[in-house]
Every structure is written in structure tokens, then in C-alpha cells.
Amino acid sequence: MIVDKEFVIGTVDPRLYGSFIEHVGRAVYGGIYEPGHPEADERGFRRDVIALVRELRVPIVRYPGGNFVSGYEWEDGVGPAAARKRRLDLAWAAVETNEVGTNEFASWAEKVGAEVMMAVNLGTRGPADARNLIEYCNHPGGTYWSDLRRSHGYEAPHKFKTWCLGNEMDGPWQIGGKTADEYGRAAVETAKLMKWVDPSIELVACGSSMRDMPTFGQWEDTVLDHTYDQVDYLSLHAYYGNRKDDTASFVAKTLEMDDYIHSVIAVCDYAKAKKRSKKTMMLSFDEWNVWYHSADADRQIERWTIAPPRIEDAYTLEDAIVVGCMIISLLKRADRIRMACIAQLVNVIAPIMTANGGDAWRQTIFYPYMHASLYGRGVSLKPIIRSPKYDSAAYTDVPYLESAAVYDEESEQLTIFAVNRDLKEGLEVEADLRQFAGYRIAEHLVLDGPDPKARNTEVQPLRVTPHAGGSSELRDGRLRTILPKLSWNVIRLT
């Protein structure tokens, strides 16, 4: 491997390490909010969860959905608690109590030090309601909606900067799903009104829900034909799983993610060419993670209950390795991917789990996400890699070594993130670090273990945790190391 300061991909936008809280399952109720819990603060937010979110240094959190937003009437979630209506949430067949809404979430986000990425409902609603919501949230005062916010106890505007124009609008499962033309028209008209209320905002248009959608590619092209001049980002979503218990293929899934990102960039640039535009469309990978463990349990959930344990994947070591590979895929295109949200943050396909009335703990995927958020800020460098390869049932020519490098010019620190996909053997790596000859290894963190299926649970919360036992040596600008079998590695040089 060669790492050179001159091989710059782009500056990493800190929002690459964003996350997501949706009104689904126990993400909000029993997750971030549980009045009566011994750790609850004066507003009902769990302090133990806040502390874990802060550990992750999450810069931005998408809210309130997800599929939920496509049926959400935001007015239900503001104003006096006693007057909040209970509603059927058709997206997840649950009852939404509306105890937590926009203002409470803004207060929680402030506590964890994150910005809010708000989504508007383009399923059952349209431009007028989005216009009212942004006036309620971002306008200082002196109008009906902004004064209503002030009367609700929020004198200062929230100044939410980033807004999603709906969610997964191409999906037949989506409340009020649309064709690309229908969505493109709705999105551009909504965008115009929202930017007229607050020209400082940035807008995300919905790309396809996943690369396997039948309309993938065509959807992006049509949506951008309508919205190119009004929006700033196009979204991507991806979830991977190991349903066939074929780990060699599972850990290679990010080859697909790389192709997916590459294809979306190609369509964006095609739209740019057609319009002879000077603007380059950026990407928001605003849902990504491993998701498959909870499918059977979810089928047993009773309809119309409040905060049932929905999509609570209990993550394994191998899932954490895939999450590490996904982060590397994002870093490889840091020039175009400005925002990304691991979906989600608490309880629902999440790095943080809680027990109702009980403890909070870190899942295996917490660690690669935390490492990237803490040490992956700066300039993403393109490592030149020559790696031995393998074939799996689903993929050919899979490199054993997957890696990204981030250089923080200010603190002069270099971090190499590296995965060894080999399930049986350690991988010897030699890296030519050129301009980093005078550096020393600050630490080499490793997440590995004897059992790829090992998990952290409430009873055994520390079964899978990183250790500082990596074997790296740096001499005359050459790094030599052995990456343990199936491992996530963070090699930090100062």
C-alpha cells in the first residue's frame, strides 16, 4: 500500500458521520426518551444514552423519518403535552403518542451536540405544509407559525439547515409513494417555497431506496431533470445482510456499495451535462447499515402497540467488519458524499441499545463508527493498494485488504483504517508512507475475536470491544503490520 499526502480525494465533511432517529420501535420512546427511568433528566431524556451518543461525536441526526415521515403531521408533535393527539402510524403499524416532537427533538440534539437534518412529508402532504413547518422552525417571529413556536416556549428559531424532501418516494411500501415525475414535480415546488422562506437551507432530493429498485438510474435521472437547480444533494440508501450465512460474500458486499456510489455520481454528472450546469450535485448517503437479524422477530409484533421492539438487530463481530467496510466506501468518495447517516442510532438497527428501565450498552458496530467519527476527520487520501484477492459464492476478485487513510493537517495526524476480509489468516501489510517518515505510531486499535458471531448483550456488554494490541511498526517511512483475520484496524500516526 502507498499513502501519499498528494493523493487527495477530498476534505471529509464531518457530516459523513451522521446518524438517524426515526419514530419507529423504541428509537424515541424507550430509547432517547424514557421519563421515569432512573437516568432520565428533567425532560425525560435518558442521560446514559446522551453520554453514549456524545462518545460517538455525532455531528448531525436525521429526523423524524424514514417511512414514518410520509404520514406525519408535524403539528401533532408541538404545543402543550396534554393536547397531543395519539395517531395511527401506518408506516410501522404502531400507535404514535406524539409526546416527543420537533421542539423536544431539537432540545435533545442540542444536548448531544448534533445538528438536526429534518425531513418533510411528501407522502400525504406537499409544499404548503413544508412551507409552514420551515416557517415554524426557522423564521425568527412576527408571523403566525413563528409566533406559534414562540408561544410553545421556543423563542429562538431552531435554524435547521439541512432538509430532506420526503423519504424513499420510489418505494411501493411508502405512504403516498410516487412515480419519478410525480415526485420530481412535488419536490421542486416544495424546494422553491422552502428556500423562499429561508434561503440559507440545503435540500436533499430522494434518490432510489436501494440499488436493486427496478427504476434505479432512471429514477435519479428524472428526479434530477426536475430538481437539479433547486436541490443540493441526492440521497442513497443501502442495507446489507448475511441471510445465507456466507460470510466471505457478506464482507464483500461493499464492492456493490462502491459501484452504487459510482453509478449515482455518473447519473448526477449526466444530469449536469444535459443542463450545461456549473453546479456539481453532492450526495447524501442518509441511510446505511447492516439490517437483517430482526426480520423474523418483527413478524411477531402486534399491530397498533406503542413503541414495540421493532428492527432491533443484535449485531455480531462480522457485522461490525461490514460496517467498517461501509465507512471505508464512504471515505473513498468523500469528494462527492458530503453527508451520511448510519441508520439508526438507538435500539432500531443501532449502535446503542437500551433495556426499558434498564441499562444502555454499545453494540459491536458502535466501535468502527466511533473510530471513524473521532479519527476520520481531515483530508481523505487515496491509498494505492495491491492486495491478494479471493472469490466467494457471490463475488469474484475480492481484495482481502480494504483501506482508507485520513490526514488531519491541523494536528498533523494520519489515520489508516483497514479491514482484513480473510476469515482464516492474518494479512501481512507493508505500507510506503513517504512523507510520514518522522511519525510514530500512536496506537493500533483492533476489533477482532475468535467468534465472528459474537455479540454484546445487556448481560455481556463487553464481549466484543476493541483493544490496542495491533502489531504495527514504522521504520524509515515504511509501516509493517499484520492485520488479524477478520478484523477492523485503526492505525494512528502522529
Binding residues vs ligand AHR (CB under 6 A): 22, 65-67, 167-168, 287, 343-344
Which letter, b or e, does each residue of 184-216 get, where b requires 16 or more Cβ atoms within 10 Å of its Cβ? bbbbbbbbebbbebbeebbbbbbbbbbbebeeb
Give whichever of 145 and 163 is closer to ligand AHR, judged by the CB atom.
163
Burial class (CB in 10 A: 0-12, 13-18, 19+), 230: middle
The distance in angstroms from the start CA to the end CA of the chain is: 19
Min dist. Cβ of residue 137 to ligand AHR (A): 21
Determine the 3-state secondary structure of 41 from DSSP. coil
Give 222 or 294: the residue with its C-beta nearer to ligand AHR.
294
Query: Within 13 A of 355's CA, how many CA atoms are on the CB side?
Result: 8
71: its cell numbers: 404520514
Cell numbers found for residue 249: 460474500
- Helices 180-197, 127-138: inter-axial angle, 10-degree rounding: 30
At its nearest, how many Å lie between ligand AHR and the CB of residue 343?
4
Q: Catalytic: which of 115, 135, 168, 318? A: 168
> Considering beta carbons, is residue 168 or 220 the nearer one to ligand AHR?
168
Residue facing ligand AHR at closest CB distance: 66
Pick the catalytic residue from 287, 312, 318, 402: 287
Residue given cell 402497540 in the structure block: 305
403 contacts 328 by C-beta, under 8 angstroms: yes
Alpha-carbon span 412 to 294, nearest angstrom: 42
Smallest separation, CB 326 to ligand AHR (Å): 15
In whole angstroms, how close is the CB of 65 to ligand AHR at the nearest point? 5
Q: What share of the chain is helix, strand, coil (3-state, %, to 5)?
A: 30, 25, 45
Q: Which residue, 22 or 129, has its beta carbon nearer to ligand AHR? A: 22
How would DSSP label each residue in 236-254?
EEEEE--TT--HHHHTTTH
Which of 314, 355, 357, 435 lies closest to 2, judged by CA? 435
CB of 294 to ligand AHR, least distance (A): 11
Kindly calculate the radius of gyration of the chain based on its CA atoms and give it in whole angstroms: 22
β 471-475/478-483 pair status: antiparallel
Q: Would you say 261 or 350 has its CB closer to ligand AHR?
A: 350
| Cα atoms in the 13 Å half-sphere on the side-chain side of 195 | 16
- Asked about 287 being catalytic, the answer comes back as yes
Shortest separation between residue 205's beta carbon and ligand AHR, angstroms: 14
8 Å CB contact between 24 and 68: yes
User: Nearest approach, Cβ of 35 to ligand AHR (angstroms)?
Assistant: 25
**218 CB neighbour count, 10 Å cutoff:** 14
Short-list 262, 259, 324, 317, CA closest to 288? 324
> How many residues in total does the chain contain?
494
Give the whole-angstrom CA distance, residue 212 versus residue 234.
Answer: 17
Query: Considering beta carbons, is residue 287 or 422 the nearer one to ligand AHR?
Result: 287
Q: Please say which residue, 186 or 348, places its beta carbon nearer to ligand AHR.
A: 348
Q: Which is nearer to ligand AHR, 172 or 450 (CB)?
A: 172
Nearer to ligand AHR, 233 or 407 (CB): 233
Per DSSP (E only), the strands in 421-468 are: 427-432, 441-447
Distance of closest approach, residue 283 Cβ to ligand AHR, in angstroms: 16
From the CB of 69, what's the least distance to ligand AHR, in Å?
8
Report the catalytic residues: 168, 287
